[in-house]
Structures are given as structure tokens and as C-alpha cells.
Amino acid sequence: MANENQLQSIIAHCKEYGFIFQSSEIYDGLGAVYDYGQYGAELKKNIRDYWWKSMTQMHDNIVGIDAAIFMHPTVWKASGHVDNFSDPMIDNRDSKKRYRVDHLIEAHAETLEKEAADALLQKMDSLLAADDFAGLKTLIEENKIKCSVSDTANWTDVRQFNLMFATEMGAVASDNPEENKVYLRPETAQGIFVNFLNVQKTGRMKIPFGIAQTGKAFRNEIVARGFIFRMREFEQMEMQFFVRPGTQKEWYEYWKETRMKWHLSLGIPQEHYRFHDHVKLAHYADAACDIEYDFPMGFKEVEGIHSRTDFDLKNHQQFSGKKLTYFDTELNQHYIPYVVETSIGLDRTVMMLLSEAYKEEDLSTEEKKDSRVVLKFPPLVAPIKLAILPLLKKDGLPEIARELQNECRPYFKCFYEEKDTIGKRYRRQDAIGTPFCVTIDHQTKEDQTVTIRYRDEMTQERIHISQVRELVMKAIQAF
Ligand code: ATP
């Protein structure tokens, strides 16, 4: 269920606790661009590592690469991005505000009763599928949809806008700027396609096999909103799986199931996810669906799974004039492989985990009012795994605590703190999602036991100091 307040609380929390800041904040920020702070960067890295490991380490037949952001300009002609990577937009003449047509209509649908909303969205989907721009404008007018800024329905025609950022390469000014034009990649996938044969040959890969990659992508999103849900600079984690033509349906189903299992392994309940099958297929796909998560704004895409046919390789072969076929020794046949792609946004996954983890808990008792904000991250992705807290700054307690820190820090991220009361220190760790805190006190000196405190239940127990490392390691074990 949509919950705008929760989203605002998460944004404020992320800023207050060093997870996510607006880019160039001291200059009033840059639209839909964000920076990750000290805890956000750890969280993001842990998710990226988990995805990378699940693809490249847990599969014999998937390898990872790291392709450049800049690519030859013809790549984007071959991929269809120059001609097709655009969204239908409409401008309000009074406010000069530009809207993505689907977002404008969807926002209006949210104000309607379910039946009317469904009918409207169905109509919109079929007009979008037919690229019927005049029909979309009529739909907006018939429904008396207004601009939220000017409150008028004074609309331009619907037009397509390309979402790629372009820049120039090289210092020499050319008479023809088109010659030096390069794009910031709008997806990481094309870096995989153009390296398909390099990897296949040097890695002696046999079909079916996959190539995985994580990295930045850039889209000049017109309507960028929803915090890190829709950014102009973001990170993707993509895997292209090359298969025999004719087997793509089976692999598509396989990857749908496998990716959903990955999501569930983050400890997020099944009912917070759903599949959404595409009605309007992208120009390259013969089947496609999204894995949607129930964000504070409602169910939205976090990952796409696409059966991309041989579209990309075939076009790169045609545009480059280089053969991109594979020789299948079992079939004794050359062919261009088909591709099933899994494509997940890293920032959206961060947002999903934040939405899932963020809890405001009322801890009031009859005697006193109390509450806490806690991020209940799975230990695997939590920025800090263990906080080590000497009860006092004296009596040799800090030394014991430092010794434990030195024992654990090669294995996972620890946090050492000796200021403030233990209660305050616990709350600060709750707010950044640290799953375990250990307190070193005078009893530790006598019997080498420490108090371990569990974030979610807030229960405590005494364990031997030598058990701490193992306990945390077990909790963060991924596979
Ligand atoms: P949307 O419909 O939300 O624009 P999309 O279908 O264009 O997304 P894909 O091209 O399939 O997205 O990209 C794969 C993944 O990359 C998405 O599932 C999403 O997680 C992520 N992604 C795409 N665009 C953005 C963006 N502007 N900001 C953050 N993440 C993004």
C-alpha cells in the first residue's frame, strides 16, 4: 500500500545517518542525482558483492566483466537506442512542466475507483503499444487530466524524447560535431554484447553461458522522482545468458524462478513481490517481465527479465561487419545465440532493502515512553556487522575491546565506540542496522564473557568472547 509518509521518513533517516545525500547539496543539489555516504556505500557494496557472487561464483558457466562506460557511437545505433530509446512526453503550456505520458495518466488513475482506473490504464497500454500519440493526447483530454503545477489542461502534442546523454570525445573541434559524439551508456548490457566473442573464445565458454557486469548507467529521465528509485545516474547489475535458439523460453522461465529465489533469500516475504508480465514488449524482446516490489509508493519494478532473442548480436554483426556467430560442436552448426537477460537496478535494490528494513517501534512501558528507529537489514548486507562497546573508558576494558576488534576486522566490518551510555550506543547502532553489539564489562576480565545484544529482538545473552567472531560469521554467510 502506498505510504508517502514512510518514504519521507526513510529519506530523512538516510540523510541523518549517512546513507544517502543529495548530490552537490551545498549548491542546492542536482535533480535526481544522489551520493552515498559512509553507510550507504557499504550497504550498496554488500548488495553488489552478493549479486556478483551469486552469479559468477555460484555458477560454473557465468563469468563477470567490467566494460567501459564510453562505447563506439555505432553501438547505440545497432542496439536501437538512438532511434528507439525514448519516452512519449507531453508539456503543459502554462507551467512549462514536462511529463512522461504514462506517469501522468498513472497518477490520475490513482485518484479513481479501481474499476475506472483499470479501464483507463488498459486503454493507455494499448495506445502505448500502438505508438498512437494522438490517441494518448485525446485520452488525457477526455479524462480532463490537469498539470499539478498550473492546474490547467493546456497540453502540447505528445512527442518522443531520447533519454541518452551525449558528450564529445577528443580535444579536436570538428566541423561535424556528430563525428566526435559519444554517449554515456544508458545500460550496461551492450558492453557485454560487444565482448561476447572475446569472452567466449578466451574463456572457452560453451553455450549455455552467461556474462555478468555491474556498473553505472545514465538516463536523462524527464520525470525523475521517488528518491533513488529513478535517478539520472544509477547503477545496474546485468547478466546476459547466451543460449541455443529455440531454448530461450525454458531459460527465461529458469531465470525468472532463479532471480525470485535470490530476492527471497534477502529475507523479504513473497507477498512483497510480484511478477508483472509486459504487454508492450521492448523492441528487442520476445518475452519480458518485471519483478516488482511493494515500495512505499506501491508495487514498482526492481528487476527486469527479458528474452532478447538474437536482436543485439545480429545487429552488432550487421553494423560492425564482424561475424558474431558461435560454433555449437554438439549440433555441428554455426548460429547467433539467443539471449535471456536479468537486469536489476542496484540503487532500487538499496531502496527496496531500506523500505523493508525501516521500522519505527514503540517501546513504551507503563513507567516511561520510549521508541526507536531500527533498520532490520539482513546481516549479510548490513553496513556494520558488529559494534564493540567497552562499558567504561577505563579499567582495561577498551584494551579488551580493541583486541576483539583486531581479531574480527579482517573478516567483517566492525565499529568501536566508547562514548555515551550503552543505551544510547545501542540506539545509534539500531539506526544504522547493525545486527550485533557486544559489551565488554568488568565480568569480561574475570570469565572472558561478553554481553551480546541482538538488534531485532533486543535480547541479550552472555557468551564467551572467543565465540563472537564465529557467531557473526555464521550470520553473514551467504551460501
Ligand atoms: P522503468 O520502467 O522504471 O523506467 P526500465 O524498464 O526502463 O525501468 P530497464 O531498462 O529494464 O528499466 O533497466 C533495468 C533496471 O535498471 C530496472 O529494473 C531498474 O531497477 C533499473 N533502472 C532503470 N532506470 C533507472 C533509473 N532511472 N534509476 C534507477 N534505476 C533504474
pLDDT at 173 over 80: no
Rounded Cα distance, 67 and 190, in Å: 9
Q: What is the pLDDT of residues 308-364, one digit of tens each?
A: 999 999 999 999 999 999 999 999 999 999 999 999 999 999 999 999 999 999 999
Q: What is the pLDDT of residues 16-46, one digit of tens each?
A: 999 999 999 999 999 999 999 999 999 999 9
Rounded Cα distance, 340 and 210, in Å: 9
What does the block give as the cell for 423? 543505551
Q: What's the gap in Å between 105 CA and the centre of ligand 1?
A: 19
Average pLDDT over residues 166-170: 89
Question: From the CB of 312, is ligand 1 less than 6 Å away?
Answer: no
Q: What are the structural domain ranges in the chain?
A: 4-72+178-354, 86-162, 384-475
Q: Which CATH architecture has domain 384-475?
A: 3-Layer(aba) Sandwich (3.40)
Looking at residue 80, what DSSP letter applies?
Answer: T
Q: What is the pLDDT of residues 409-450, one digit of tens each?
A: 999 999 999 999 999 999 999 999 999 999 999 999 999 999
**Residue to mutate, 213, 278, 301, ligand 1, most ligand atoms under 8 Å from C-beta:** 301
Distances (CA, A) of 96 to 102, 192, 383, 400, 402: 18, 39, 42, 64, 59
Give me the CATH topology for the region 4-72+178-354: BirA Bifunctional Protein; domain 2 (3.30.930)
**Ligand 1 atom 20, closest CA:** 345
Question: From the CB of 302, is ligand 1 less than 6 Å away?
Answer: yes
**Residue to mutate, 297, 348, 349, 353, ligand 1, most ligand atoms under 8 Å from C-beta:** 348
Rounded Cα distance, 133 and 122, in Å: 15
Q: What's the gap in Å between 345 CA and the centre of ligand 1?
A: 6
Rounded Cα distance, 222 and 124, in Å: 19
Q: What's the sign of the alpha-carbon dihedral 200, 203, 206, 208?
A: negative
Question: From the CB of 189, is ligand 1 less than 6 Å away?
Answer: no
Rounded Cα distance, 320 and 214, in Å: 25
Ligand 1 atom nearest to 301, measured from its CA:
18
**Mean predicted lDDT score pLDDT of the chain:** 95
Q: What is the pLDDT of residues 284-317, one digit of tens each?
A: 789 999 999 999 999 999 999 999 999 999 999 9
**H/E element, 259:** helix 248-264
**Residue to mutate, 343, 351, 352, ligand 1, most ligand atoms under 8 Å from C-beta:** 343
Report pLDDT for 224.
Answer: 67
Question: From the CB of 200, is ligand 1 less than 6 Å away?
Answer: no
Ligand 1 atom nearest to 303, measured from its CA:
18
Rounded Cα distance, 90 and 158, in Å: 5
Rounded Cα distance, 164 and 166, in Å: 6
- Per-residue burial over 28-38, b = 16 or more CB atoms within 10 Å of its CB, e = otherwise: eeeebbbebbe
Distances (CA, A) of 240 to 62, 116, 186, 194, 196: 9, 39, 16, 12, 10
Residue 44 sits at the vertex; the CA angle it makes with 42 and 49, to the nearest 5 degrees, is: 95
E-state strands within 104-185 = 159-162, 166-168, 181-183
- Number of helices (H) and strands (E), helices first, in the chain? 17, 23
Report pLDDT for 1.
Answer: 45
Ligand 1 atom nearest to 232, measured from its CA:
27
Confidence class of residue 479 from pLDDT cuts 50, 70 and 90? confident
Question: From the CB of 236, is ligand 1 less than 6 Å away?
Answer: yes
pLDDT at 174 over 80: no
Rounded Cα distance, 431 and 152, in Å: 43
Confidence class of residue 175 from pLDDT cuts 50, 70 and 90? low
Rounded Cα distance, 353 and 347, in Å: 10
pTM of the model: 0.89
Ligand 1 atom nearest to 231, measured from its CA:
28
Report pLDDT for 225.
Answer: 74
Q: Which of 154, 152, 184, 150 has the alpha carbon at shortest distance from 167?
A: 184
Question: From the CB of 304, is ligand 1 less than 6 Å away?
Answer: yes
**Residue to mutate, 85, 234, 238, ligand 1, most ligand atoms under 8 Å from C-beta:** 234
Q: How far is CA 22 from the centre of its chain?
A: 17
What does the block give as the cell for 347? 540503487
Q: What class, spelled out in words, does domain 86-162 have in CATH? A: alpha beta
